[in-house]
């Protein structure tokens, strides 16, 4: 069978030409009608029956279904019988892009029953609005991804991976928009690729957001670790019950961070963010308690500590004054000793 156009999707109103031959089985005669039908509009059929290579007169038909009677096809079993057919028509208007039957060929018995499996040739006929709709939907999704990227950028989230997907999707959509309607399949493939890129971009953005939340939650834990090390390094605080409370709070925060990382690995980014928020709250509580304990401890060691920064300055000033007094005393003592030794030398 020869079909023109031979490839690609077709737009409504496209002229299609078909040419083919139906060969009767060798060494047998037929008792069935040969039936052919088409979904093309304004069909023009023409067929010639060949018997041992000799043609009959051409027969034309403008019906949707062509029925060649078994009477016209019945010859001696030793005869070679075939039917040469041409068909021309136009592709129909469709409300939805779909495959349309160019020709269907089958046999029908005397009772009107279809015999065997029909031969069917199809072509995709495009509803141009489908491409426009697909492109519009893809552009809307692309715009939403851009909005989400901008929002996360403002939050300090690393959006580079999502931006790469955005750029790839934008390129595919632009490419689809430039294609003619006859390349419908290629255009839809481009749009399918673009929507996949957009979906990946949203997922990568969600992942980066979750990772950023986990990183934020790690901050208080890192801070409290420094204070815990300080407390554990001093005998007066190493076994204090308050330190145990601080450590317990810190461990809870760490467990939430671990759970958040597990959720990231499994792709459940919303749950990862939720656990990261819990980790931040618990870690911050641990750090606040540790800071309060640190102030309490340093106030006990430093009598001026209760005055805050001023107390620290005052304490430092007192220390410097004390060191100065000691230095002066040492100098005076040194002078006295020097003078005594000098007198001893004068006396011989």
Helix or strand (DSSP H, E) at 138: helix 128-154
Of 290, 168, 152, 145, whose CA–CA distance to 230 is shortest? 290
Q: Both 92 and 178 in a single domain?
A: no
Nearest residue to 254 via CA among 223, 217, 207: 217
For residue 300, pLDDT over 80 is answered with no
The total of other beta-carbon atoms located within 10 Å of residue 126's CB is: 25
| Token reading at 306 | 């209760």
Of 108, 126, 144, which residue constitutes the final position of a domain?
Answer: 126
Q: Which residues form the domain of 258?
A: 131-294
Round to whole Å and give the CA distance between 134 and 139.
Answer: 9
Contact between 263 and 271 (Cβ < 8 Å): yes
Nearest to 86, CA basis, from 147, 29, 45? 45
**Structural domain contains residue 299:** no
Amino acid 188: pLDDT: 86
The reply to whether 21 and 100 lie within a common domain is yes
The percent of residues above 90 in pLDDT, for the chain, comes to 68
Note the pLDDT tens digit of each residue in 70-80: 889 888 888 89
Residue-wise pLDDT for 124-134, tens only, equals 898 888 888 99
Count Cβ neighbours within 10 Å for each residue of 136-147 and write b for 16 or more, e otherwise: eebbebbeebbe
Residues belonging to the chain: 348
CATH of the domain at 54: 2.60.40
The verdict on pTM exceeding 0.75 is no
According to DSSP, residue 306 is labeled: G
Q: Peptide bond preceding 5: is omega within 30 degrees of 0, i.e. cis?
A: yes
Alpha carbons within 13 angstroms on the beta-carbon side of residue 295 total 10
The pLDDT tens digits for 117-156 are 999 999 989 888 888 899 999 999 999 999 999 999 999 9
Percent above pLDDT 70 for the chain: 85
Tokens representing 239 are: 């076994």
**pLDDT recorded at residue 62:** 96
pLDDT tier at 343 (50, 70, 90 boundaries)? very low
Do residues 47 and 85 touch, judged by C-beta distance below 8 A? yes
As given in the structure block, the two tokens for residue 240 are 């204090």
CB 213 within 8 A of CB 249: no
Mean pLDDT, the chain, integer: 87
Say if 303 falls within a structural domain: no
Give the DSSP H or E segment for 89: strand 81-90
**Rounded mean pLDDT, 23-49:** 88
Asked if residues 260 and 221 have their Cβ atoms less than 8 Å apart, the reply is no
| pLDDT, position 212 | 96
- 176 and 253 co-located in one domain: yes
pLDDT of residue 337: 54
Where residue 50 falls among pLDDT bands split at 50, 70, 90? very high
Domain-terminating residue out of 126, 159, 175? 126
pLDDT band for position 262 (cuts 50, 70, 90)? very high
**Residue 121, SS3?**
strand
- Same-domain status, 152 and 258: yes
Mean pLDDT, rounded, for 81-107: 94
Report if residue 304 sits inside a domain: no
Q: How many domains does the chain have?
A: 3
Q: Are residues 68 and 180 both part of a single domain?
A: no
The 10s digit of each residue's pLDDT in 165-187 is 999 999 999 999 999 877 887 88
**Predicted local confidence at residue 341, as pLDDT:** 54
């Amino acid at each position: 069978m020869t079909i023109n156009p031979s490839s690609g999707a077709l737009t409504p109103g496209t002229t299609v030409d078909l040419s083919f031959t139906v060969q009767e089985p060798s060494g047998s005669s037929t008792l069935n009608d040969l039936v052919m039908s088409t979904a093309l509009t304004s069909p023009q059929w023409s067929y010639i029956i060949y018997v041992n290579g000799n043609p009959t007169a051409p027969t034309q038909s403008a019906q949707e279904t062509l029925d060649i009677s078994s009477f016209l096809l019945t010859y001696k079993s030793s005869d070679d019988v075939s039917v040469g057919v041409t068909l021309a028509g136009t592709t129909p208007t469709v409300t939805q892009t779909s495959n349309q039957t160019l020709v269907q060929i089958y046999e029908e018995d005397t009772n009107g029953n279809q015999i065997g499996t029909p031969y069917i040739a199809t072509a995709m006929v495009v509803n141009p609005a489908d491409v426009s709709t697909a492109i519009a939907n893809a552009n809307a999704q692309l715009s939403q991804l851009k909005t989400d990227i901008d929002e996360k950028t403002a939050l300090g989230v690393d959006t580079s991976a999502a931006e790469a997907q955005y750029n790839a999707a934008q390129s595919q959509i632009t490419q689809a928009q430039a294609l003619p309607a006859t390349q419908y399949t290629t255009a839809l493939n481009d749009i399918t690729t673009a929507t996949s890129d957009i979906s990946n971009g949203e997922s990568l953005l969600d992942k980066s957001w979750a990772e950023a939340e986990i990183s934020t939650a790690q901050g208080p834990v890192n801070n409290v670790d420094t204070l815990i090390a300080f407390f554990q390094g001093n005998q007066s605080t190493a076994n204090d019950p308050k330190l145990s409370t601080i450590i317990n709070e810190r461990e809870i925060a760490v467990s939430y961070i671990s759970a958040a990382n597990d959720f990231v690995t499994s792709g459940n980014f919303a749950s990862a963010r939720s656990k990261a928020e819990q980790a931040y709250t618990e870690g911050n509580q641990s750090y606040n308690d540790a800071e309060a304990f640190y102030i309490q401890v340093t106030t006990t060691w430093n009598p001026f500590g209760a005055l805050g920064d001023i107390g620290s300055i005052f304490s430092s000033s007192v220390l410097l004054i004390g060191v100065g007094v000691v230095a002066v005393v040492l100098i005076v003592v040194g002078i006295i000793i020097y003078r005594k030794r000098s007198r001893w030398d004068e006396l011989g």
